């Protein structure tokens, strides 16, 4: 969720990520939502048109992970980080609910889900969502909240399959001189 995970243009990434999320996170995406997610990707360069399609997708599939991820990616790529953070919070709530976790990520423990298995899709969705949340908090200057989320990630995923250590290193380097 954090940002560009591969190559290709942003427009297709939004539609592809949404469809991938649909396949990984339970399917059930109505045809109308799928259509509007694809149309949003095609209209990426036209903000209002793309957002209108995203809203239609949300109407067709309210609360669906594919739609939430599409909104997140749109806002992230457009540099609307506060909006992306709002969506990340919705994704965290959905991931917690889908994994039968506490709605407060701070209360989640390593034994609450199969966080150690990279193949466990729902726990992985929770971890990547929390990573995106941590990253956005850091980018928006909320370093204490970002650090707390990074430390929670490392607690839940001590082998660091999602790459939280990178964010921890960034926080630790902040404020230090770049002298060698």
Q: pLDDT tens, 100-116? A: 999 999 999 999 999 98
Q: For residue 178, what pLDDT is reported?
A: 53
Query: CA–CA separation, 73 vs 90, rounded Å?
Result: 13
Query: CA–CA separation, 133 vs 113, rounded Å?
Result: 19
Q: pLDDT tens, 136-180? A: 999 999 999 999 999 999 999 999 999 999 999 999 988 565 554
């Amino acid at each position: 969720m954090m940002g560009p995970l591969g190559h290709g243009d942003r427009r297709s990434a939004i539609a592809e990520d949404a469809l991938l999320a649909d396949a990984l996170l339970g399917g059930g995406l109505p045809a109308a939502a799928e259509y509007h997610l694809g149309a949003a990707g095609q209209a990426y360069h036209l903000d209002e048109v793309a957002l209108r399609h995203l809203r239609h997708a949300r109407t067709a599939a309210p609360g669906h992970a594919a739609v939430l991820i599409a909104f997140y990616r749109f806002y992230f790529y457009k540099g609307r980080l506060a909006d992306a953070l709002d969506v990340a919070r919705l994704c965290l709530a959905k991931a917690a609910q889908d994994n039968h976790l506490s709605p407060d990520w701070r209360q989640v423990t390593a034994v609450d889900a199969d966080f150690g298995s990279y193949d466990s899709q729902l726990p992985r969705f929770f971890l990547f969502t929390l990573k995106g949340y941590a990253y956005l908090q850091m980018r928006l200057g909320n370093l204490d909240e970002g650090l707390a989320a990074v430390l929670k990630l490392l607690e839940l995923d001590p082998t660091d399959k999602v790459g939280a250590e990178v964010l921890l290193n960034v926080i630790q380097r902040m404020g230090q001189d770049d002298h060698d």
